[in-house]
Amino acid sequence: MGRIYTYIGEVVVSMNPYKQTQLYGKDVIEQYQGRELYERPPHLYAVADAAYKAMKRRAKDTCIVISGESGAGKTEASKYIMQYIAAITNPSQREEVERVKNVLLKSNCVLEAFGNAKTNRNDNSSRFGKYMDINFDFKGDPTGGHINNYLLEKSRILHQQPGERNFHSFYQLLLGASDAQLASLHLCRDPAAYRFTSEGASNNLLASDRSNFKDVADAMKVIGFSPEEIDSVYKILATILHLGNVSFVAEGDAMAIENLELVSQLAALTSTEPESLLRALLYRAVATGSGEVIEKGHSAKEANYARDACAKAVYERLFCWIVGRINTVIEVKNYDARLHGKNTVIAVLDIYGFEIFDSNSFEQFCINYCNEKLQQLFIELILRQEQEEYQREGIEWQHIEYFNNQIIVDLVEQPHKGIISILDEACLTGGQVTDAMFLDSMNTKLGKHPHYTSRKLCATDKSMEFGRDFRIKHYAGNVTYSVEGFIDKNKDTLFQDFKRLMYNSTDPVLREMWPEGEVSITEVTKRPLTAATLFKNSMVALVENLASKEPYYVRCIKPNDQKSPLLFDAERCRHQVEYLGLLENVRVRRAGFAYRQPYDRFLLRYKMTCEYTWPNHLMPTDQEATRALIDQHGFQDDVAYGHTKIFIRMPQTLFCLEQERAQLIPIIVLLLQKAWRGALARRRCRYLRAIYTIMGHYKRHKVKTYLLELVRRFQGVRSMADYGKGVEWPDPPAVLAQFQENSKLLFRRWRARQIVKNIPPSDMGQIQAKVAAMEVLQGLRKDWGCQRNWGRDYLSSVDENPVMAAQFARRVQALRDKVHFGSVLFSCHVRKINRFNKSRDRAILVTDQHLYKLEPRKQYKVMRTLPLSMVTGVSVTSCQDQLMVFHTQNHDDLVICFHKMQPEEDNRVGELVGVLVDHFKTTKRELQVRVSDCIQLSLRGRKRLVAVEMRHELAFPDFGKSRDGFVLYCPRR
């Protein structure tokens, strides 16, 4: 069950199961990806993978030709092939490649809606031929593509066979669009309300029409159609439906439109003027020989013909515009083979199958001619060329007879003698030429042709009618054609008035479809080619294109005409197998060889599997080297040696060679990688050596340049007044950055030494104290008096203390006699506050042993003596005030503020701090110096805070009480 595929060589034979099967999907794709053709059961995926591998391995353009009768499953087969190619490409998920894949896949949905229809043989029959080129880059990822469409069956717009219906797009619009959208298009939801869809409205509606409408709209958005373009497409569909309902009535000698409201609706949908549209429907503009333009009114027959021709032409132009719009999105852009590698192609041809209806007209004639051309290509490539190749290569071969349909192809397309030439001649003949006259001309010129007959030539055959029917003996069977409509359909006449009308539309999409509408009516133009000639030319070009590629065939067979998954009509299938040439194909393949390749290319692919041919053989010819390779593997009984090629009979032999090659490729790759990486490493090592040599010389050059510049700048600093303080250091190389920092440190020390040498010994103590103050106050206090001369013992100075200097000197002498201190470190008048919030004027004396608080008014009587060993630290503020707090070990701190100084704005806080810090360093003790605008202190163990506040009205500083301690009020200067 479920076995619907088989092989004849590399030709896949596919049977339509008429039901969904579990033969597809991601898991099945993985089973066939990268496998050889015969490693897995027959499948469409296998032939798709074979075509992809041939394209990727040998950079060879390939094509997959899908053929068979209508309803045999060609369209579904093409979709599965496209899905497989999309699934196995772009493993790195590149965004642009994914976009191309999505557009290629979504294009199927759109083209099926506008180009497929429900027929008696197939619910989704392709009513056009589709040839798609998929372009790949050197990595095997799709980079774009191009779609060609052939012979859309536009006559289906007007009439359908009993039991069939119009194109899917009309029913999807009527059943799937919203009520608001239908109202904007002046449509109702009933297909029976419109002449063009009424024939298929009774019993031919598909359950999927509604959902397919949304799918098609989404697909158009993914492809890149703008919302305005999608709206234009639906307006054009509505235009065609309304055109079918336009009817004409005679008013005297002239024609008029019976339902005039349709004219305004059509004008709105086509974005044209109602008057211009009405004139195009009722009149035809004709240019006289003198250049004058006159309007000729239509007869009833002409008006109906013009209306129908316009409807057919509008739909055909719409379909071609959609194909062209898709092509602009998926075309390969900015591809340069020099940069991106060779651009290879896989082509997929899904074209209408052979058709034999109860009534066969011009469309069936063209379709069957197309199938004759494709059958001829199949015979040419698969049967005739293969047998000729065996004979050319000297392979023993018994010729197999087959039917060559070249005689039928010539019957249709031969210049001057073929049916198309006779039809064109009839169309170009002046006067009124009828279809019956065309039939008589064929009877005269083709009467003796073995594959042509008519009732006139075979009077006893009553299955044909006189003056109407002719019969061609096609390779697929006899087909009787009715000549009615051949002349009109071949001329494909559309009055220029409609072309100008559409070109002058304000809808850019509709205007783009009719470029020839720009031509003036008085301008003489070349007669256009007929429909049959255009189709013949496109078929010739298609076959030439396919012949240039490596072909892979999918032959589709329908098991019955009832579309039933349970019936198998053996006679029906036998007939298809016979006319598809599959029997001859089987006989050729059984007697022939599955694989052939020139010796040089065979060796190029498999030489690594033999020790005598790897890496290069030393034998006289490639043929002998190939023979040695085959003999080593023991395949000599399964091959034949031609003049230039080796022929392998069984695919299994090729698989064995491929498997051994696949096992050796990783080893060869590793060897190549090792050699290449070694070469890269050696080259990089040479580069690095050169780089380091250059870098070494350059670094030495930079160091030398820097040192010379350094010497130049600093060679005269000894004679400078500031000993080089203002000399700017040059920027050092990175390697000498630390050297420059060390040099700066040495230079500063040398400069300091030079300066210190010139300082008198009497000033050294002051210098040391200032340095000590700078170390603890630099950056923490704005002004600490470093710019002035420090007097230290200010109370002994007559300038500072002119009245009481002598009394202070006697007190100092008395203390020296008593405690024998060494020197006075500092003395000054202060303002102090005690624990009782009392503020008094006092003086302090700091010796090298004690800190004394003195009473100036009592001849500097000692009020408090504090050994310096009891002082743990001092606190000052960051402002210009003269507040200072001495912290003690017994938590009874001393709070003072310098005042009565000469001059008054002297800043002596830094001086006392520097003297104390320098003294403590000398005695190897540590003095903590804190800078804070809110100083915490202890008075007899009680915690207090002291802060500073500036006031304009004060003449001198004084202490006041605050909530949590004291405030020093300082005059603002």
Q: Which candidate in 73, 129, 353, 965 is catalytic?
A: 353
Q: Which candidate in 16, 62, 67, 70 is catalytic?
A: 70
**Distance, CA of 898 to CA of 843 (rounded, Å):** 9
Angstrom distances, CA of residue 384 to CA of 279, 381, 391, 578: 59, 6, 11, 17
Residue 550's beta-bridge partner residues?
62
Q: Which candidate in 76, 355, 413, 800 is catalytic?
A: 355
Q: Which candidate in 16, 67, 75, 626 is catalytic?
A: 75
Beta-carbon contacts of 58 under 8 Å, excluding residues fewer than 6 positions away, are: none
Residue 616, Cα to own-chain centre: how many angstroms? 43
Q: Judge whether 355 counts as a catalytic residue.
A: yes
Q: Judge whether 122 counts as a catalytic residue.
A: yes
Q: What is the dihedral of CA 55, 61, 67, 72, to 10 degrees?
A: 30
Q: Which candidate in 78, 90, 125, 530 is catalytic?
A: 125
Strands of 331-476 (E only): list them. 344-350, 452-454, 469-474
Residue (of 875, 811, 887) closest to 847 by Cα position = 811
Q: Which candidate in 71, 592, 724, 785 is catalytic?
A: 71
Long-range contacts of 319-325 (CB under 8 A, 24+ apart): 319/114, 319/115, 319/128, 319/149, 319/152, 320/149, 320/152, 320/513, 321/509, 321/512, 321/513, 322/110, 322/111, 322/114, 322/233, 323/111, 323/147, 323/148, 323/149, 325/223, 325/224, 325/225, 325/229
Q: Judge whether 441 counts as a catalytic residue.
A: no
Residue (of 387, 355, 651, 390) closest to 476 by Cα position = 355
Q: Which candidate in 16, 67, 119, 122 is catalytic?
A: 122
Output Rg (C-alpha) for the chain, integer angstroms.
54
**Distance, CA of 861 to CA of 814 (rounded, Å):** 11
Q: Which candidate in 67, 126, 270, 530 is catalytic?
A: 126
**Distance, CA of 169 to CA of 110 (rounded, Å):** 9
Beta-carbon contacts of 370 under 8 Å, excluding residues fewer than 6 positions away, are: 129, 150, 151, 351, 352, 535, 539
Q: Judge whether 660 counts as a catalytic residue.
A: no
**Distance, CA of 88 to CA of 90 (rounded, Å):** 7
Q: Judge whether 324 counts as a catalytic residue.
A: no
Residue (of 9, 133, 47, 147) closest to 554 by Cα position = 47
| Sign, CA torsion 91/97/98/100 | negative
Q: Judge whether 447 counts as a catalytic residue.
A: no
Residue (of 790, 580, 691, 799) closest to 68 by Cα position = 580
Give the amino acid at 331.
E
Angstrom distances, CA of residue 782 to CA of 204, 777, 879: 100, 9, 6
Per the CB < 8 A criterion, the answer to whether 354 and 368 are in contact is yes
Residue (of 798, 796, 802) closest to 816 by Cα position = 796
Per the CB < 8 A criterion, the answer to whether 445 and 422 are in contact is yes
- Catalytic positions are 70-71, 75, 122, 125-126, 353, 355
